[in-house]
Amino acid sequence: MTEPIITLHKAYIYQKLNLILSDVDLQVHPGEFVYIIGKVGSGKTSLLKTLYAELSLKEGTGYISEFALHDIKRDETPFLRRKIGMVFQDFQLLPDRDVFHNLSFVLGATGWKDHRKIKSRITEVLDRVKLHYKEDKMPHQLSGGEQQRVVIARALLNDPEIILADEPTGNLDPETSEELMQLLISISQNGRAVLMATHDYEMIRKYPARTLRCEDSHLTMVEPNQNYFDFEKVIGQPEI
């Protein structure tokens, strides 16, 4: 088996001074798809933010590829984040820029300068998410599913090794959610690790994968034979 791309060992996850998750041990390998479930406030987003180095890892050890999360320097953080693509529930697109310029802004901010290469890369990722014909549209001109596809395209721009998805189907209808799930799964099948925090237990039932649960300040494995109808007890009612 390949070396893990994500490793946490005896990690303690904090939000400021508040302990969120204790004694976390986690390994994720390239090409693996992993669900993270749990009730609101149980630590799913805090865990993803720690992997992204938005929250500091104050206790324990953690590695993303060759970067040590427990000892990362501020000037190393941008290089770490080039290995990670973030997908948010609320899109976070720039409302005053069309799709092309939303994506070119990210490339410019991460050091791209050659306009031909920028254009080529944007065309490539929009083709990947089947939105090549929407590059001149403003975010408000897109459906929710199309906006989320732009977010995934944005996450792929720097060819990351890891995709962290925080409730990516939370604001989408079932049909669009399924299309997004198929896209994320295909991304993992192409060798990227995908961690997806979710309340969407219908998708977990339909597209089973390793599932981890945040509960009572701990991260634990959900057994593969976990009955689908028990997920409501595990992760709570879906948010309305």
Do β-strands 57-64 and 33-37 pair in parallel, antiparallel, or remain unpaired?
A: unpaired
Residue 49: strand pairing partners: none
Taking a C-beta distance cutoff of 8 angstroms, is the pair 239, 63 a contact?
A: no
CB atoms closer than 10 angstroms to residue 22: 16
Q: Domains for the chain: give ranges and CATH numbers.
A: 6-235 (3.40.50.300)
Question: Residue 182: exposed, middle, or buried by beta-carbon count in 10 A (0-12, 13-18, 19+)?
Answer: exposed
Question: Model confidence at 27, in pLDDT bands (50, 70, 90)?
Answer: very high
Distance from C-alpha of 119 to C-alpha of 165, rounded to nearest angstrom: 25
User: Which residues, at least 6 apart from 103, have a Cβ–Cβ distance to it below 8 Å?
Assistant: 122, 125, 126, 150, 153, 154, 157
What single DSSP character describes residue 223? P
Residue 78: pLDDT band with limits 50, 70, 90:
confident
Over residues 33-67, the pLDDT tens digits come to 999 999 988 999 999 999 999 999 999 999 998 99
Band (232; pLDDT cuts 50, 70, 90): low
Q: Look at residue 143 and give its three-state secondary structure.
A: coil
Q: What is the pLDDT of residue 225?
A: 59
pLDDT at residue 237, as a whole number: 47
Residue of 37, 40, 28, 38 lying closest to 162 (CA atoms): 28
